[in-house]
Each structure stands twice: as C-alpha cells, then as structure tokens.
Amino acid sequence: MFLFVVFVLVSSVTNAQDYSLKMGLSQIPFRDFPYKERSLPGGRTDGFIIDFDPNIEGKLYEDLQCKQYSLAKNNTDFFPEVYLKIQLSNGLYLGALSFGGCTEYRTDVMFISDANGNVKDTLECCVLNGDLAVKQYEVKSPEEIIIYRMFFAMPVPMKWEKYANAAKPLKGYIRKTIYRLSSQNKFEKVSEQTTTSNSFTSQLLKKHNLWEPESFKMSY
C-alpha cells in the first residue's frame, strides 16, 4: 500500500502540466525575419497556451482609444498564447503572445527573453477587438520593428463594440512608430510618423491592415 501511494504521488508530479513561458517557447517553431500577420497561427503546434507571466502585462481594452481596460490576469478566459519565436544573434528570443483566448478581445505583447523564459523587455504590439484593427505590428529586422496604431478624433472614449456595428464613419489617422532592439536588450524607439487624417468605417478596419494606409486613403 505504501509503495502504491508513493507511485501515485511520483506519477502525479511527473505528469503535472507545465504551462510556463519556457515550456511555451519550447513547443512552437522558430520563425524568420520578416514577420507580418494579421491572424494568429491556426495550426495546433504553432501556438501554446501558457499561464500568466508576471513579467508580461496584458491589457484588454473596452474603447477604441485604449484608455479603459482590465488586466488579463484577472480573468482566466484571457490566458495568453505564445505564438512567435525568432532567434536573435545574441542567443535571445524575440517573441510574441496574445491575450484574449476565445473571446472577441485581443491584445498582443512582444517580448525579449532567453530560452528559459526570463523576460528582458516587453512592448504592446496589437489590439484587434472584434477584428477591428486599432494596433498592429510588423517585424522587418532587429533594427526595424514597426507598431501601427489608429488614433480616433473623438473627445470621449467610444466602446469598440458600439463602433463595430455602426455604419457611421469616424475620423482618424495612423501613427507609425519604429523601434529597434538595443544592446541592452530593450525595445528602443527610433522614429515616429503620422499619416494625413481621413474618415473611415468600421468595415475598413475589419478588412484592411494599418500597414496599408492607402486602404484608408491616408498617406505619410
């Protein structure tokens, strides 16, 4: 009886699931520069759901201006999925994970870490609630990581759920911010550009990407 109990305890520990960032990184394939995708990878082996990491904060936004939010760690529906891993020349990883799960909320965060999941720095890079492109990114190289964000010309915050089903166009512009990976393993801001302003509907934000300013009849 004693041996059976010991066997059960050892088996339980051995079979315990590991949902750490380290494990998540080990389960997904390496990708190469450049990287630019609107949708999350669809393959079962291309993403791995992990526990909330205390060094990666996820904010789930209620409004288009990204001012009203709740923290992902307060809701188990928002467990993050790590989906991007690019090997850097110094042995570290450039990675990204997405908060939101099966809900209509989505916020992605890029991070720099080692293979053990020790996070050096983070950068919020995507907000796509209800498939409305409010913030997106592309990674061209370690010297050129671009964040695109739509800014809306409204005096008060507007719920994204309300706008998603509205036919009335809103006015705004796109801000393009370029970062690079510094020698201190940080996301370092390099430059910033903004487009001309124009009006657009929610359908444009659902169908087009912010790295295509011409789709919104905007230009830098």
What's the pLDDT score for residue 2? 39
Query: Which residues fall within 8 angstroms of residue 152, CB to CB, at 6 or more apart?
Result: 64, 65, 158, 170, 171, 172
Task: Tell whether omega for the bond before 34 is within 30 degrees of 0, i.e. cis.
Answer: yes
What single DSSP character describes residue 159?
Answer: B
What's the pLDDT score for residue 16? 59
Q: What is the distance in angstroms between the CA of the first residue and the CA of the last residue of the chain?
A: 75
How do the pLDDT tens digits run along the chain, 220 residues long? 434 433 333 333 334 589 999 999 999 999 999 999 999 987 767 999 999 999 999 999 999 999 999 999 999 999 999 999 999 999 999 999 999 999 999 999 999 999 999 999 999 999 999 999 999 999 999 999 999 999 999 888 999 999 888 778 999 999 999 999 999 999 999 999 999 999 999 999 999 999 999 999 999 9
What's the pLDDT score for residue 14? 37
Joined together, the tokens standing for residue 184 give 């201190």
Cα 147 to Cα 11, 170, 191, 217: the distances in Å are 46, 21, 11, 19
For 53-182, where are the E strands, in sequence order? 59-61, 69-71, 81-87, 93-99, 107-113, 119-127, 135-141, 144-152, 170-181
pTM to 2 decimal places: 0.91
